[in-house]
Amino acid sequence: MDWMLIPLFFAFIAAGFWFMKGLDRFLDRQRKQVPEEAGSEQEVLLFGGTDSAKEMEKILSFRKIPYLHISKESEIDRGLVYHYLFALSDDDLDNIMMCRIGERIFSIPGDNMVSLCNSAENRKIFEEKGIRVNSLARCSGQTGVEMEALTAVSVSLLTIYDMCKAVDKKMEMEGIRLVSKEK
CA angle at 55 for the pair 49 and 58, rounded to the nearest 5°: 110
Question: Based on C-alpha coordinates, what's the Rg of the chain?
Answer: 25
> In this structure, is residue 181 part of a structural domain?
no
> In this structure, is residue 20 part of a structural domain?
no
> In this structure, is residue 152 part of a structural domain?
yes
Which residues on adjacent β-strands are paired with residue 34?
Answer: none
> In this structure, is residue 105 part of a structural domain?
yes
User: What pLDDT digit, counting tens, does each position of 16-68 carry?
Assistant: 777 777 777 776 766 665 444 444 566 899 999 888 888 888 888 888 888 89
Average pLDDT over residues 148-177: 74
Amino acid at site 43: E
> In this structure, is residue 22 part of a structural domain?
no
Sequence-distant (≥ 6) Cβ neighbours of residue 116 within 8 angstroms? 48, 50, 52, 87, 88, 89, 90, 95, 133, 134
> In this structure, is residue 173 part of a structural domain?
no
> In this structure, is residue 118 part of a structural domain?
yes
> In this structure, is residue 78 part of a structural domain?
yes
Domain extent, residue 139, equals: 44-164
Q: The domain that contains 158 carries what CATH number?
A: 3.40.50.720
User: What pLDDT digit, counting tens, does each position of 90-117 carry?
Assistant: 888 888 888 888 888 888 887 788 888 7
Average pLDDT over residues 70-99: 86
Q: In the chain, how many domains are there?
A: 1
Q: How far apart are CA 82 and CA 144, in angstroms?
A: 39
Residue 12: pLDDT band with limits 50, 70, 90: confident
DSSP letter string over 125-181? HHHHTT-EEEE-----SSS--HHHHHHHHHHHHHHHHHHHTTT-TT-----------
Does residue 92 have an active-site annotation?
no
Sequence-distant (≥ 6) Cβ neighbours of residue 100 within 8 angstroms? 129
Residue 124 has pLDDT above 60, yes or no: yes
Is residue 151 within 8 A of residue 134, CB to CB? The reply is: no
Burial class (CB in 10 A: 0-12, 13-18, 19+), 70: middle
Task: Please identify which of the residues 24, 28, 111, 162 carries the catalytic annotation.
Answer: 162
